[in-house]
Amino acid sequence: MARMSGGDALVATLVEHGVTVGFTVPGESFLAVLEGLRRARNRLRLVNARHEGAAAFAAEAFGKIAGRPAAVFVSRGPGATNASIGIHTAMQDSTPLLLFVGDVPRRVQDREAFQGVDYRRFFGAIAKAVIQPFGPEDVAEATARAWRTATSGRPGPVVVVLPEDVTEAEFDGGVIPRPPRRIAAAPAADALADAVAAIAGARMPVIVCGEMVALHQAHDALVRFADRSGAPVLAAFRRQDCFPNGHPAYAGHLGLTREPYIRALWAAADVVVAVGTRLDDMTTEEFTFVRPDQTVIQLHPDPAVAAASGAAIALAADLVLSLDAMTAALPEAPGARLAERDRVHALEAAHAGFAQRPAIGAVDMVKLVEAVAAAVPADAMIATDAGTFGSWVYRHYPWRLPFTQVAPEVGAMGAGVPGAIGASLARPDATIVAFVGDGGFLMTGSELATAVEEGIPVKVVLCDNAAYASILIHQHRRYGGDAYHGVTVKSPDFAMLARGYGAAAWTVRETAEFGPAFQAALAHDGPALVHVLTDVRDGSASGPLQR
């Protein structure tokens, strides 16, 4: 039997489990893993990032779009702690991800060795699991277990700690584990009957759809269920691509602001069907949106999710099987319910289709988002970083197809550019546009150099108001217009910076300049950036700053 190192066993197991993309900032503590990756480079693409946090962001976006994990390889101590922002993002977004940390040798663990960290304590609260193999012969099993844990139930990130001596040591090669075959669990008959009875007898049921719709590829089943039930569909926070926005059942987005028509719909709802969403904090306004008098039916493969949300009826099963079973058992929706659904959709379409006020400054963000929507195909992916500019995207961009929204629910700044890179590697034939702010770009915009090096044609729309505008708005509303502190920044020439990284770039100072610049960026065969100078007084899509 051929001998292999622990690093070889790790890479062989990843390949066997269908992991095709990895991100890294290389470190000397996992040289044997890098050697295994070099030999497997035709089967597993390794992307060199400029920062470990960005590598993890890219892997999170890849997992969100591909529905399967990418791998991240980082060194101990600073490398691992830098990557933690992406691990937290993957946990809150229920995204499968594998993080491999090259650690100090076993003989100096737990002795505060150079760059040593107790990873179980450090990652324990923000990862689904932390695993460490004890010897080289254990690496394959630990890697396979990490993959199973990351992809099962409610997906999430798993951290594998790799002592340097474990990956470098050789052993007589064993059998590389194969991935288990996924078996779709059918819903329990009694829970299904209860759910159907509650929906059929409801005055006004409302559907809230979330992250597991994508991971179970349940989009078509959800449309069939919405048609049959006659229930309006609300997208959970930053999950607008779960349901086609042009469908007559679409009622809008449970984002940071709730329009009056959404609040009126929710006030009338007596049954809430949560499809693939854990009814998270942002979706439910700090867990206050769901009322005690509403019957919650939760479709989610992880029973712990329904237990945490307090659902009255839980279908802990495959979403497609659950939705199709309910669709088959439901009677036709009453005409009055369908009429109300259509009325709400008309209100949503009106809300999404026009601005409530004129723009302040020379750039109209409404027209900018409309220009992007008109220029890109329906299957284009839109990545959004954290920032007030995103409010226009969430309101005015029409998500028409699945796997097109790349926006971390956790709202971490800096996710935009690396997220666009990861999403593009998951769907390399699709157009990818990243909306970022000046603050987020200055955190991870150097990954544009990664995109240039790897030939990943991301298109970046950088909205620059020279401020951390989200916080500035909060200061303004609470303390007034003279209370800004710690929130203004001096922006560089972002177009020049992008060109320094090797990307094409344009600067836009007024609305009329954006369309031609964006078209030129789309036509460019590599990474490109459009630097848009915006007015901080414009606030967000929900309102301007007023003194």
Q: Per-residue pLDDT tens for 420-463?
A: 999 999 999 999 999 999 999 999 999 999 999 999 999 999 99
Residue 283 in any domain: the answer is yes
Together in a domain, 23 and 111: yes
Q: Are the C-beta atoms of residues 382 and 356 closer than 8 Å to each other?
A: no
The DSSP H or E segment spanning 12 is helix 6-16
Residue 274 in any domain: the answer is yes
Q: Are the C-beta atoms of residues 49 and 74 closer than 8 Å to each other?
A: no
Q: Per-residue pLDDT tens for 373-421?
A: 999 999 999 999 998 888 889 999 999 999 999 999 888 899 999 999 9
pTM above 0.75, yes or no: yes
Q: What dihedral angle (degrees, nearest 10) is formed by the CA atoms of 307, 310, 315, 320?
A: -100
Residue 103 in any domain: the answer is yes
* 3-5 and 170-172 strand pairing: antiparallel
Tell which of 353, 388, 406 closes a domain.
353
How confident is residue 141, by pLDDT bands cut at 50, 70 and 90?
very high
Q: Decide which of 282 and 383 is more confident.
A: 383
In our burial notation (b when 16+ CB lie closer than 10 A, e otherwise), range 536-545 reads bebbbbbeeb
Q: Is the dihedral of CA 115, 119, 123, 127 positive or negative?
A: positive
Strand (E) positions, 334-411? 381-384, 405-406
Together in a domain, 412 and 468: yes
Q: What's the number of domains the chain is made of? A: 3
Q: Which of 72-86, 168-182, 264-278, 379-393 has the lowest mean pLDDT?
A: 168-182
Residue 544 in any domain: the answer is no
For every residue of 220-240, DSSP letters joined together read HHHHHHHHHH---EEEPTT-G
Cα–Cα distance measured from residue 68 to residue 46, given in angstroms and rounded to the nearest whole number: 16
Residue 395 in any domain: the answer is yes
Instruction: Give the mean pLDDT of the chain.
Output: 93
- Percent of the chain whose pLDDT exceeds 90: 78
Together in a domain, 82 and 129: yes
Q: Which of 206-210, 255-259, 313-317, 355-359 has the lowest mean pLDDT?
A: 355-359
Together in a domain, 209 and 328: yes
Domain containing 277 — which CATH number? Answer: 3.40.50.1220
Give me the domain span that covers residue 236. Answer: 189-353
Please tell me the predicted confidence (pLDDT) of residue 354.
66
- Percent of the chain whose pLDDT exceeds 70: 96
Residue range 74-91: mean pLDDT, rounded = 96
Residue range 463-469: mean pLDDT, rounded = 78
Residue 547 in any domain: the answer is no
Together in a domain, 194 and 294: yes
Coil vs helix vs strand at 41: coil
Q: Which of 208-222, 319-333, 385-399 has the lowest mean pLDDT?
A: 385-399
Please tell me the predicted confidence (pLDDT) of residue 547.
44
Together in a domain, 161 and 198: no
Together in a domain, 103 and 239: no
For residue 262, what are the contacts with CB-CB under 8 A and spacing of at least 6?
234, 251, 252, 254
Residue 139 in any domain: the answer is yes
Q: Are the C-beta atoms of residues 4 and 40 closer than 8 Å to each other?
A: no
Tell which of 324, 353, 382 closes a domain.
353
Q: Per-residue pLDDT tens for 335-388?
A: 999 999 999 999 999 887 766 667 888 999 999 999 999 999 999 999 999 988
Tell which of 172, 205, 227 closes a domain.
172
486 pLDDT exceeds 80?
A: no
Cα–Cα distance measured from residue 103 to residue 115, given in angstroms and rounded to the nearest whole number: 9
Strand (E) positions, 285-371? 295-299, 313-315
With CA atoms as reference, report the closest residue to 451 among 391, 510, 369, 521.
521
Please tell me the predicted confidence (pLDDT) of residue 545.
62
Domain containing 494 — which CATH number? Answer: 3.40.50.970
Please tell me the predicted confidence (pLDDT) of residue 359.
82
Residue 360 in any domain: the answer is no
Together in a domain, 348 and 429: no
Query: Tokens 């693939």, residue?
Result: 276
Together in a domain, 345 and 373: no
Together in a domain, 168 and 195: no
Together in a domain, 243 and 205: yes
Together in a domain, 392 and 523: yes
